[in-house]
Amino acid sequence: MNDVVICGIGMTSFGKFLEKGLKQLGNEAIMKALDDAGVPKEAIQAAYVGNAVAGVVTGQELIRGQVILRSIGMGGIPIFNIENACASSSSALHLASVAIQAGLYDCVLVLGVEKMTHEDRTVTFKAFEGGVDVEEMKYLIEASSMSHSIFMDVYARKAREYMNRTGVTKKHLAMVASKNHTNGSKNPFAQRSKPITIEEVLNDRIIVDPFTRYMCSPISDGAAAVVLCSAKYAKQLTNKPIYVAASVILSGKEHSFGEPSVIEETGRAAYQVASAGPEEIDVFEVHDAAASAELMAYEELGLCKFGEAGKLIEEKITYINGKKPVNPSGGLEAKGHPIGATGLGQICELVTQIRGTAGSKQVQNVKMALAQNAGGMFGLENAVAAVTILKK
């Protein structure tokens, strides 16, 4: 199989941009990624476009990628629209990587784009409902207050169970949120740009117990894009290739207490593909749609033993200057969470970390980096999980 290399990245700021449409967001990220790779748009042989909720929010379904690419004259090529909840663009990256591995293309585009904000906020909240089994979880949808995403209700229930089992406290959650907002304040693309103290997190407005607003990712518009190349083609573009060492997608299934979650399973599979373990990874971007999810990811990805995530954040191991930095970008909580773009947003951050161009949020000496994201819900289990490992 051919090796897969990331040659270019580009992203928009993440935020609330009521006036920007899907095409404008997507095109900004694409043009930046092409420019970063140093390839003209004619070099792109196929495009893989991840999007989750824009269909509901904007009415643009069925041919989202074609509409975006055509508006900048990128027609004629194969274009695939991938929908996999919050892992949509990670899934797009996976499928693009497979096509290069198969030798089908030398240079392709991966785009994650999301238009979530709407003048009527209930439209946005409605869009989340498609991320659960709508027949089975009708009760959840009917009970929805339409004041926040139903996913926060699910995350909160999961967090309460987790806290009961492990002794993780609300202060641990606040430490995660404070760390991420402080990291995010160094990220020019972040939606929330202010450093936040632990006390400010704790004293903020409650969304669903135990979460205050700063412990939850915001509603965001945004896009991120990547130019993916075969190793051979990449030689024309860069002498410092960044390889996709693993790109694994799995789906959730019923599991009992003590059995591995889909995130844990996906992480294990990715470590195996990359022939590496958590000890070799220098920096992580994880799916902190809520602060509790970051703590659980510490355990699921093997940064610490089960039940020890609270200790890990207390010891500041996952701070930028710690031994295992997590979410230097600010994570979903501070950088923003335009769900179909989030997976590639993580990848863009990790590429800058490996390149050493991450500015004041730079982690020292990054050779290998891991992105984890997940989305959709069956009960308290994610419907889909993605783990991507990049290396120098």
Kindly list the residues in this chain that would bind a copy of itself in the complex (CB under 8 A). Answer: 1, 21, 23, 52-53, 55-56, 58-64, 66-67, 69-71, 73, 75-85, 91, 94-95, 98-99, 101-104, 127, 129-135, 248-254, 262, 265, 375-376, 378, 383-384
**294: helix, strand or coil:** helix
Which of residues 69 and 223 has its CB atom nearest to a copy of itself in the complex?
69
Q: Which residue has the tokens 């930028």?
A: 320
148, 172, 337, 348: the catalytic one is: 337
Nearest CA to 227 among 3, 40, 21, 25? 40
Nearer to a copy of itself, 140 or 163 (CB): 140
Please, what's the b/e burial string for 189-203 (b: 16 or more CB within 10 A of its CB; e: otherwise)? bbbbbeebebebbbe
Nearer to a copy of itself among residue 2 and residue 318 (C-beta) = 2
Which of 270, 313, 296 minimizes the C-alpha distance to 381?
296
Q: First and final CA of the chain: distance in angstroms?
A: 18
CA distance 259 to 141: 28
Between CA 6 and CA 202, with CA 333 as vertex, the angle to 5 degrees is: 155
Q: Kindly tell me which of 101 and 193 has the beta carbon lying closer to a copy of itself.
A: 101
Could you identify the residue written with the tokens 């797009």? 92
> Which of the residues 7, 86, 216, 304 is marked catalytic?
86
151 by DSSP, 3-state: which? helix
Q: Shortest approach of a copy of itself to residue 87 CB, angstroms?
A: 9
Instruction: Kindly state the smallest distance separating residue 367's Cβ from a copy of itself, in Å.
Output: 26
Distance CA 281, CA 370 (A): 7
The conformation of residue 218, written as its DSSP 8-state character, comes to: P
Nearer to a copy of itself, 133 or 199 (CB): 133
Q: Is 337 a catalytic residue?
A: yes
Residues marked active site are found at 86, 337
